[in-house]
Amino acid sequence: MPKYSIEIGGGVLVSLFAFLLFRGVNIIPLLLALALMGVLLFALKSKGQLAAAGGRREARVKGSTPFSFDDIGGQDRAKGELVEALDFLVKHEEISKLGIRPMKGILLTGPPGTGKTLMAKAAAHYTDSVYLAASGSEFVEMYVGVGAGRIRDLFKEARKKANKEGKKNAVIFIDEIDVIGGKRDGGQHREYDQTLNQLLTEMDGIHTNEAPRILLIAATNRKEMLDSALLRPGRFDRHIGVDLPDKKGRLHILNIHSKNKPLHDEVNMEKIAEESFGFSGAQLESVLNEGAIYAMREGLPLVEQHHLTMAIDKVMMGEKTDRESTKEERERVAIHELGHAIAAELLRPGSVSQVALAPRGGALGYVRHNPSDDHYLYTKDYLEAQIMIALAGAAAEEMFYGGRSTGSRNDFEQSLNIVRTMVECGLTEVGIIEDRMMTPDRWAQISGSVLDGLMSRVKEMLAARRQLFTHCLNILIDRETLGGEQFRKLIASEESLSA
């Protein structure tokens, strides 16, 4: 029917114009009026589509299933600091007697995958609040004013939903807030600036003595990029760092995510926690998931220790590749990796977890180290040993082949970064100095001096173990992978023969 109605209407208009022309009536004003009406209708239609788009974004702001702090592994310090801040909402009457103002905003900062989003969900559950979540990118559009409007709608929706459900509090979580909260460049006409200004206005308008009370929780990986007006007290009152978990935290996270995994009785979670140094919570969850996938590939009903060990390698470096190398390349790679492994065992006994020739990611081989304890403070001796281990691969190649290969590139980059850390911390011959006072030539001079000295030391150390290289080379090439204990037994047997 609409099709025929349009055709009939068009026919009527044509007939009307023909009749008016026949009577000698000037129809140009009428045509201009119809054109103006068409433009207005098109503008109204575009505005309606834009509003519908905003509504669709708003519809993606969803609630959360119950999630408590007990479901988050590790992060005991961050959870304790967050719970203290949340108690200002839960115990509102008690803190009002002391004149304490409840917080308006809490900023969670830290590397990706450490559980910032999970902590926001747990905060809503802890305070029995309505939970609304959105990403910073949802407020950014090419149309000026759309982001600011969505900020207003988000706060309105939080109050409306809390009143509807009879809740006293509402928690709004904005992930990746640096997208809309970045430092302003002085202009006031950018869409980003208008969105940030609206967010600042809404936070200023949060009255903590009114119901429902609103708490804004935001997360970012780049706190240094946020605008100072957003970080000041009265807006984000508390900044909580959510860091990578230590060994105890990693074990807690692994135990949480292994509850639904059928593990073999001989699986040692403490060993996995030791080998996964530097992993985030998301990576640890992926380790258990990939371990279960390896068990499924082998058709086994239980996840075994070696499955989880392979999963650590996959999460750290990627899946094995089908890259085929020549015999000469395999021998060179084996010598290179043995250089790393032997130096590591000599400088830090028991630190090697695995030596492998299996190509993963962009590496033809690798040595995975197993730190006995998590380190957050480093001495000069420790850093020099770290550089010697990194240089040992190139030193071993020079010892057997008389030259280096491109496989040492990452080792040299790592060594240079450690030298920079030593200079910035006053652990080199130049003493305490500001890095801005260092010229490129001076950097090159200091780096060359430190690296050349340590390269000489590691070459001397490895030259005394040349027989150990030849003893381990064929075994590594044949097996492709040597566990830490196997490698240490080979070293012990060779030393007993030499003695």
Please report which residue ranges of 370-439 form alpha helices under DSSP H: 380-401, 409-424
Catalytic residue flag (residue 337): yes
Give the dihedral sign, CA 373/379/381/386.
positive
Cα-based distances in Å from 312 to 79, 198, 275, 354: 27, 44, 8, 11
Determine contact, residues 101/132, Cβ cutoff 8 Å: no
Q: Is 361 helix (H, G, I), strand (E, B) or coil?
A: coil
Distance CA 120, CA 126 (A): 10
Question: Which of 380, 381, 377, 376 shows the shortest CA–CA distance to 423?
Answer: 380
Q: What are phi and psi of 481, to 5 degrees?
A: -135, 130
Torsions phi, psi of 106, nearest 5? -130, 130
Catalytic residue among 337, 345, 384, 397: 337
CA gap 246, 249 in Å, rounded: 5
Determine the distance from the C-alpha atom of residue 196 to the mean position of all C-alpha atoms in its chain, rounded to a whole number: 24
Token duo for residue 46? 């575009």
Closest by alpha carbon to 90, among 121, 119, 125?
Answer: 125
Asked if 131 and 173 count as a contact pair (C-beta separation under 8 A), the reply is: yes
Q: How far is CA 88 from the centre of its chain?
A: 30
**Residue 217 to residues 342, 480, 490: CA-CA distances in angstroms?**
49, 49, 54
Before 212, cis peptide (omega within 30)?
yes
Dist CA 14 CA 331 (whole Å): 87
Token representation of residue 283:
């990576």
Q: Which residues are catalytic?
A: 337
